[in-house]
Amino acid sequence: MDLIQLNKELSSLSAEDRLAYICQLFSDRLVFSTSLGQEDQVITFLIAKQKLPIEIFTLDTGRLYQESYDLLDRTIARYKIPVRVYFPDAAKVEAMVYEKGVNSFYESVENRKECCFIRKVEPLNRALQGAKVWITGLRAEQSENRHNLEFAEFDETRQLLKLNPLLDWSYEKMLQFISENNIPYNPLHDKGFPSIGCAPCTRAIEPGEDIRAGRWWWEASQKECGLHQEKIPANQQVN
């Protein structure tokens, strides 16, 4: 089945059925990267509900909010499923901080991207080694960069299939689903944080601001950290 056909199949399914369907297609390693955001909490609930053979992992950058750590504990306790935590290379963090300071990311976009790469991208790449399918909580509504995403894409860099089961969900639909299913979520969301990353790099947004305005608010950039590269449009065969 090529990507065009796969996306056609996925478009007619619910998010729950998309996850189950991809598990039927692939017997090799399927992984889900959770940042513990609302979207990811929905996916964790769907994986646990169906007892799907999907490994769940998260990245601890060393600069997270305490509320995020508390949510991780609550999530594991609620669903009784393991969540593996990946950390950045300590030597690389130490070298960056020694050379540029603990808050170098405020000084330039280049410094911020370097920090994101060391604390997030490299650990992600380690977590994805050997995986055949990478499941994410991306929604098209989140930013302009994500409007043209598809349910299934081929990540050329990492040589794996990337699945976005909540791609067509609205923010309102997500909140309603969380409420109806009593899904645990970060209390910072109730304080104006639609997106929660590292504590020094995330703030609450004001009414009318873009949903990504609270991420790296001091810079004019695409508001991405490098975890999600541009898609590779092609009729790539999915094996």
* Tokens at 222, concatenated: 């695409």
Mean pLDDT of the chain: 91
Q: What is the band of 37 on the pLDDT scale with cuts at 50, 70, 90?
A: very high
Please give the pLDDT value at position 209.
87
Full set of structural domains in the chain with CATH? 3-91+130-191 (3.40.50.620)
Tens digits of residue pLDDT in 76-97: 999 999 999 999 999 999 999 9
* pLDDT score, position 221: 60
Residue 226 has pLDDT above 60, yes or no: no
Q: Which two tokens stand for residue 217?
A: 């608010």
**pLDDT the model gives residue 233:** 38
Alpha helices (runs of H) in the chain, residue ranges in sequence order:
3-11, 15-25, 38-50, 66-79, 90-100, 109-116, 122-128, 171-180
Distance CA 212, CA 205 (A): 8
Q: Is the confidence at residue 27, as pLDDT, over 90?
A: no
Q: Residue 102, class by beta-carbon neighbours within 10 Å (0-12 exposed, 13-18 middle, 19+ buried)?
A: exposed
Strands of 90-225, DSSP E? 133-135, 152-155, 160-163
Mean per-residue pLDDT, 137-162: 87
What does each C-alpha distance from 13 to 74, 179, 225 come to in angstroms?
A: 30, 22, 30
- Among 115, 116, 198, 225, the one annotated catalytic: 225
Distance (Å, whole) CA 17 – CA 22: 8
Q: Is the pTM of this model over 0.85?
A: yes
Task: State how far the Cα of 59 lies from the Cα of 122, in Å rounded to an integer.
Answer: 10
**Residue 225: active-site member:** yes
- The gap from C-alpha 28 to its chain's centroid, in whole angstroms, comes to 21
Question: How much is the CA Rg of the chain, to the nearest whole Å?
Answer: 18
In whole angstroms, give the CA distance from residue 235 to residue 38. Answer: 32
Order of strands across the sheet that contains 84-86: 84-86, 55-59, 30-33, 133-135, 160-163, 152-155
**pLDDT band at 220, cuts 50/70/90?**
confident
Q: In the structure, what pLDDT confidence band is assigned to residue 49 with cuts at 50, 70 and 90?
A: very high
pLDDT at site 162: 97
